Amino acid sequence: MPINLLPQLLIIDYLEQTTLDQLAALGTEVIYLPTATQSEIWSHLPQTNVLILNSKVRVDRALAAAAPHLQLVIRAGVGMDHIEVSYLEKKGITVKNTIGANADAVAEQTIGMLLTMRHHLLRADAQVRDFQWVREPNRGHELTQKTVGIIGYGHTGSAVAKRLQGFDCRVIAYDKYTSGFANNHIEEVDLAQIFEESDVLSLHIPLTDETFGWVNDVFISRFKKPIYLLNLARGPIVSLPDLLKSLDSGKVISAALDVLPNEKLDQLTTEEQLIYEELFARENVMLSPHIGGWTFGSRENIGKMIVGHVENWIASF
């Protein structure tokens, strides 16, 4: 950090004013540019000690080279697929996220979307608004005595499992990197059991080279029973063309997607536009604009964790 200067924090996404005030109270210079263009962000990097962002830019080698005094990067969220973590850490730059801050929010939306799918609530609501009183085609499916499979048993996956306890359903979970989490309400299983026994599949895993396009034709074909599929993790984990095929075949009964591979709907390729139009036209697909973790409570939690990360960084000197 430049000598005799306050640590400079560059914040390029929206934060609460209370969070900004708390950061300033730590003895920092807060540069708050939530609407900054790429060139404006780049112009501030040479003086930046701490970069706080959501997902506005890729934090890669080029950005690190433009920020010679950068010591701390904080992701105001969980996923860090747009941050070259290993490279930054090799350069001595600490990388933090706010893992767990929005787990409860995502878990609540997961349950809401699951119940809405299984009870046809979107269709029923639309029909009543159209003065159609249709009951039998909207007969629902209870969760009782069904098996919900969770892939990814971190903060969010475990929060989903906790909320399923009152539904008298069986909950099984698989996590490649975590074990020993079974209790009276959750069974720890291998991936083969997920395929064999699940009626519902809920994804709560990060986007990595391994999980990119993982949920495809081959993956879905391994399920013994038709499933309800929920993705509130990262869009590129699910192959949309393969999902459409699975919806056509009945292997996927219904899908709930809070995320999409390309969430910039005004910047779709021609191929993406055609796929999205087909997906959006389907009555058995539920969509939301990546808002699972986008709640007032999660925003407050994220702010507290950001302040804690900066406070710990300052205390390390």
Of the candidates 77, 36, 73, which has an alpha carbon nearest to the alpha carbon of residue 55? 77
> Which amino acid would we find at residue 280?
F
CA distance 162 to 309: 28
Are residues 53 and 76 in contact, defined by beta-carbon separation less than 8 angstroms?
A: yes
Structure-block tokens of residue 301: 């939690």
Token pair 């005030």 is found at 21
**Is 141 noted as a catalytic residue in this protein?**
no
Q: Which residues contact 193 (CB under 8 A, 6 or more apart)?
A: 172, 174
Which residues are bridge partners to 52 per DSSP? 11, 74
Q: Which of 234, 272, 282, 309 is catalytic?
A: 234
* Longest Cα separation, the chain: 73
Closest by CA position to 109, among listed 274, 267, 287, 247: 287
Give the Cα separation of 310 and 24 in Å (integer): 11
Q: Which residues share a beta bridge with 215?
A: 238
Active-site hit among 141, 197, 290, 311: 290
263 catalytic per annotation: yes
| Nearest of 117, 142, 112 to residue 229 by alpha carbon | 117
Determine which one of 263, 283, 300, 309 is catalytic: 263
Q: What is the length of the chain?
A: 317
CB within 8 A of 315, min separation 6: which ones?
A: none
CA distance 109 to 248: 26
Is position 119 annotated as part of the catalytic site?
no
DSSP state of 52: E
Q: So which residues are the catalytic ones?
A: 234, 263, 290
